[in-house]
Structure 1
Amino acid sequence: SYPSSQQGLEALVKRPESGDIPLNWKPGGYLERLPKDPWGSDYQYLNPGVHGEIDVFSFGADRKPGGENYDADVGSWTL
């Protein structure tokens, strides 16, 4: 199962301590650290997602929801 919105992407680095914790969570995690988006900000995560089962996205260059061109949100649903 995917991490909850509350657990967030951090659950890929560190074992969650609350909510549904997968019995088969990989000791040591799945990533050493979370990557930043191209503008140096944290990626956003929603479960359930608005566009799919989960949404992973960046707010773009302006770091605000919405926007156009370089400021537009970029998400897993656009891949």
Structure 2
Amino acid sequence: MVRRRDNLYAAGFRRGSSGFTMVELLLVLMILGLLAAIVVPKFTGRSEDARITAARTQIANFETALDMFETDNGYYPKSSDGLLDLIEQPNDARNWRGPYLKTGIPDDPWGNAYIYQYPGRYNEKGFDLMSMGPDGRVGGDDDIINWIETRR
């Protein structure tokens, strides 16, 4: 008759041993690292796409507010006053019905100020609005703008 203790020993179990072997731990860490390498870049790209969408939406909100300002006052704010005229009444705005933005003037999703220029250099609508995008510099393909660029 084979004793139970002998069967456990033969199966690889030892009394008092618990936990994982170093090989098992390394294997688990390797699998977790592989999964992280696959999953993390996908979420990182989604986060950047969400920021770009948020910047485009905010520029559209600025456009609406600027158009409302122009309808009430007959002109767009000067570049020197910038978007501040949307939340604080300028001295020369007799029909100002603002504030035209509920929450003040936010920074873009990367923490930079939006750039406003009137009269606009590129936009037929009359003013240029821009976020410098992820790189935080003017120029380049990552800038988010309110005009249509024509490439030659």
Q: TM (normalized to structure 2)? A: 0.43
Q: Deviations over 1:23-44 (max 9, x none)?
A: 11125x1123012212121110
| Amino-acid identity (%) | 39
Of the two, which has the highest radius of gyration? 2
Aligned to 2:113: 42
SS in 1 for 2:130: strand
1:9 aligns with 2:79: no
Matches of 1:16 and 1:57 in 2, distance apart? 23
If each structure's helix is expressed as a fraction of its own residues, which one has the higher value? 2
- Tell me which of 37, 53, 57 is aligned to 2:130: 57
Following superposition, which runs of at least 4 residues in structure 1 exceed 3 angstroms of deviation?
none
Residue 139 of structure 2 corresponds to 66
> 2:55: which partner in 1?
none
- Count of paired positions: 71
**Backbone CA RMSD of aligned residues:** 1.5
Match of 1:75 in 2: 145
- Greater fraction of residues in strand: 1
Counterpart amino acid of 1:14?
A: E
Q: TM-score, normalised by structure 1?
A: 0.77
Give the unaligned 5+ runs of structure 1.
Answer: none
* Equivalent-residue separation in structure 2 for 1:24 and 1:7 (angstroms): 17
Q: Could you tell me which runs of 5 or more consecutive residues in structure 2 were left unpaired when the two chains were aligned.
A: 1-74
Distance 1:51 1:67 in 2: 15
Residue 30 (str. 1) matches residue 100 (str. 2): yes
Q: Write the letter of the residue equivalent to 1:42.
A: A
